[in-house]
Amino acid sequence: MREFIRRLNTGELSYGFVPRWRRWFIISAVIVVVSLGALVVRPLNLGIEFRGGADFQAPVQVTESTTDDLGDAVHATGLPELDSTTVTTIGDGTVRVQTRTLTVDEVAQVRSAIAEEVGVSSEEVAYSLIGASWGDQITERALIALGVFLVLVAGVIWIYFRDWRMSVAAIVALLHDLVVTVGVYALVGFTVTPASVIAVLTILGYSLYDTVVVFDRVRENVASLREGRRTYSEAANSALNAVLVRSLNTTIIGVLPVVALLIAGAFVLGQGPLQDLSLALFVGMVAGAYSSIFLATPVLALLKERDPAMVEHRERLAHRLRKEERKAERRTGGSGSSVAVLDRDEDADTGTDTEDGAGTTPTTEPRTGTVRATGAGASGRPQPRRVPRSERRRP
């Protein structure tokens, strides 16, 4: 494992993230569909800050059974529609009970039940009413904040990188993280509170940071792309491999304390804002690390490859490759032709005239009359024909 990480960090090992974009898109689509399905089947458990309701707080020495005992006491009043009642603890000395909106008589009954259970007077049980209109305002402002955040992100990335495609890819990754986080909230049934909204905006910023780091390296790799021998997708994949270890290390270091918060909030301190905050942070950070590697960069590469300049660049690379292949074929074919000619010449040799003691066998080609000699004495090189003395011309 250590050797694998070292090779990955030094660039000796490269994985094809961008070429396998179909695989990552299918996985992301399945995750998004499951998240949206969870929202339909099991809607979000909105806190009273969003839906309105009654809030009771009473002083008590918190024990392991405090929340269960108070929940049973509230249901024992026999009032209708109290199934959505939530009981949480605030520290070690306060318990909080949240119910639907109650009438004046219902408030008195619930207040008395809580006071009797914790052993205090009804006046010591604090009561506050959160109207539905106030919850609607909180929801509206949360959606406005999310929309403003996405618009600012798109604008800043466009200005920084001078490329609208990077803005689109970053927004796609952020929406993926948002849907996955909300879907997990729906699946586990955690209460959505203002702390959850703050956590979602926080993890969107974290995911954006991870994406910008990758995009910045992509920009460095494609700076001299037209003079090189790589396509945009190949340069983007190289950049992704270069920052992969850094991205994973950053995610692991960031997730570890969040896991500690989640464990403390869910199992030690009980339900509360800490649990809601830590769950959103954990899911969002993991989803953000995934989307910046497997989603944002492949989307960017696909959009960029449709650019006419990149299409021309790919065609130029393909033309250069074909030209080099033809040159290589000509070099290889030229050597083979020379050998073939020599073979054909040797096969066409006819007529022999042997001279004793010369150690050679002269051969005369029928058409050209070229004299060649073969044998150990001639070493395979052409030798002049020796004219007999009787045929020599006398001066």
C-alpha 177: how far from chain center: 11
With beta carbons less than 8 A apart as the criterion, state whether 29 and 180 touch.
no
Q: Class of the 12-46+134-315 domain?
A: mainly alpha
Domain ranges for the chain, please list them. Answer: 12-46+134-315, 53-130
Amino acid making up residue 353: D
What's residue 363's pLDDT?
42
Q: Is the pTM of this model over 0.75?
A: no
Per-residue pLDDT tens digits for 22-63: 999 999 999 999 999 988 888 888 877 787 888 888 888 877
Per-residue pLDDT tens digits for 204-235: 888 888 888 889 888 888 877 766 677 888 88
By mean pLDDT, which of 129-133, 350-354, 391-395 is the weakest?
Answer: 350-354
What's residue 392's pLDDT?
59
Residue 337 DSSP label: H
Distance CA 218, CA 232 (A): 9
Please give the average per-residue pLDDT across 317-344, as a whole number. Answer: 61
Distance CA 69, CA 75 (A): 10
Phi, psi dihedral angles at 345 (to 5 degrees): -65, -40
Give CATH for domain 53-130: 3.30.70.260
Residue 116, pLDDT > 60, answer: yes
